[in-house]
Amino acid sequence: MQRRTFTLALPAALIGVHRLASAQPFPSKPIRYIVPVAAGGGSDMVGRTVTERWGRLLNQTIVVDNQGGGGGVIAAQSTSRAPADGYTLMQGYVATHGTSPATRKLPYDAVKDFTPIGMIGATPNVLVINADVPARDFKEFLAYLRANPGKVSYGSAGPGSLTHLTMELFKQVEDVQMTHVPYRGVAPAFNDLMGGQTQAMFPGLAAAVPHIKSGRARPLAVTGKARHPQLKDTPTLEELGLRGFDAVQWYGVVGPAGMPADVVRQLNETLNTVLKAPDLSEKLAIEAVEPMPMSAAEFGAYVRADIERWTRLARERKIQLDA
């Protein structure tokens, strides 16, 4: 009889242990943070810089998991299929949750398959020209384009990249002609810009700064709502009268769809606390990234607006990379 009583009581005891484990405060184990690029680049640096401080604040280890390949598709799929418990997060950025959804058919839905956690920050794109182009400022470059329709070439980091779409937006707004020369990455695109094979480009600021400082590339304007501290004398395109050029290279944090609201709230609040620390701004300045704390809802709205912006442009400029 005693043995029977013990046997019947055992499942109840196990259920109690399970409930106790489930009730442990979040996070009770290490968090996996997927970065959709190989280790060593600027995006990786941003992720590691943020998670080092974020983990200390959460009193838990955040393990960076680099999953490069497929323009972020591999990382995005891995994240979307993970349990929605807060222990798998991803550093989404303008390609995975902006330009790629606008120009390609993807095996994931950038909105429905993810939970927005928060924005990290952004760096502007900068319109640069080869130093030999006879234009000292934006107005002169525009005049040069109009005087030489179709004779100016611009490079990009690849079809559908932010460097491509931003220049196409510029061409559309100003009604000018330039020939697109796509490359496999921003480095070879810069090599040809410096060599004079192309005359213009719209790279991220971090990639452009060394060439600007050397005098081999001339900055004419930056995207974003305000001038960047590293290029205080370079006006924004908004200042110059071009609307819709608040587009930037941004980085944020997402998780699988359906994450618990309390976990999202805790992650968002602690992330924003990290972003407001002065020493973090100094670290991210290496990649010209300025922190942009947002609520989870604000970040979700930002992602949707970015996808809508580039989808509209891709449709109007007939940029569909699966066609």
Tell me: do 149 and 294 sit in the same domain.
no
User: Is residue 5 domain-resident?
Assistant: no
Q: Which 3 state secondary structure label does DSSP give 194?
A: helix
User: Is residue 14 domain-resident?
Assistant: no
CA–CA gap between residue 238 and residue 124 (Å, rounded): 12
| Range(s) of the domain holding residue 38 | 26-122+250-316
User: Is residue 276 domain-resident?
Assistant: yes
Beta strands in the chain (DSSP E): 31-35, 62-66, 88-93, 114-124, 126-130, 153-156, 179-182, 200-201, 217-222, 248-256, 290-291
Kindly give the pairing relationship between strand 290-291 and strand 114-124.
Answer: antiparallel
Tell me: do 132 and 223 sit in the same domain.
yes
In this predicted model, what pLDDT tens digit does every residue of 90-121 receive, in sequence order? 999 999 999 999 999 999 999 999 999 999 99
Tell me: do 135 and 226 sit in the same domain.
yes
CA–CA gap between residue 21 and residue 15 (Å, rounded): 10
Across 46-54, average pLDDT: 97
Is residue 257 within 8 Å of residue 113, measured between CB atoms? yes
Tell me: do 116 and 133 sit in the same domain.
no
Q: What's the Cα-to-Cα distance from 96 to each of 46, 74, 88, rounded to whole Å?
A: 16, 10, 16
Give the mean pLDDT of the chain. Answer: 92
Tell me: do 73 and 166 sit in the same domain.
no
- Number of domains making up the chain: 2
In the chain, what percentage of residues exceed pLDDT 90?
87
In this predicted model, what pLDDT tens digit does every residue of 296-308 receive, in sequence order? 999 999 999 999 9
Tell me: do 88 and 142 sit in the same domain.
no
Burial 166-204 (b: 16+ CB within 10 A, else e): bbbbbbeeeebebeeeebeebeebbebbeeeebbbbbbb
Tell me: do 206 and 293 sit in the same domain.
no
Radius of gyration of the chain (CA): 23
- Could you write out the DSSP letters of every residue in 12-37? HHHHHHHHHHHTSPSPSS-EEEEESS
Tell me: do 60 and 150 sit in the same domain.
no
User: Is residue 75 domain-resident?
Assistant: yes
- Residue 13 predicted with pLDDT over 60: no
CA–CA gap between residue 19 and residue 13 (Å, rounded): 10
Tell me: do 63 and 80 sit in the same domain.
yes
User: What pLDDT shows up at residue 24?
Assistant: 82
Please report, for the domain that includes residue 203, its CATH number. Answer: 3.40.190.10
Is residue 254 within 8 Å of residue 247, measured between CB atoms? no
**Which one is predicted more confidently, 19 or 110?**
110
User: Is residue 239 domain-resident?
Assistant: no
Q: What is the pTM of this model?
A: 0.90
Q: How confident is the model at residue 25 (pLDDT cuts 50, 70, 90)?
A: very high
Please report, for the domain that includes residue 263, its CATH number. Answer: 3.40.190.150
- Residue 235 predicted with pLDDT over 50: yes
User: Is residue 2 domain-resident?
Assistant: no
User: Is residue 238 domain-resident?
Assistant: no
User: What pLDDT shows up at residue 247?
Assistant: 85
User: Is residue 176 domain-resident?
Assistant: yes
Residues 6 or more apart whose CB falls under 8 angstroms from that of 201 comprise 127, 128, 129, 154, 155, 156, 163, 167, 189, 190, 193, 208, 217
User: What pLDDT shows up at residue 1?
Assistant: 42
Tell me: do 275 and 213 sit in the same domain.
no
Q: How confident is the model at residue 243 (pLDDT cuts 50, 70, 90)?
A: confident
Across 278-299, average pLDDT: 94
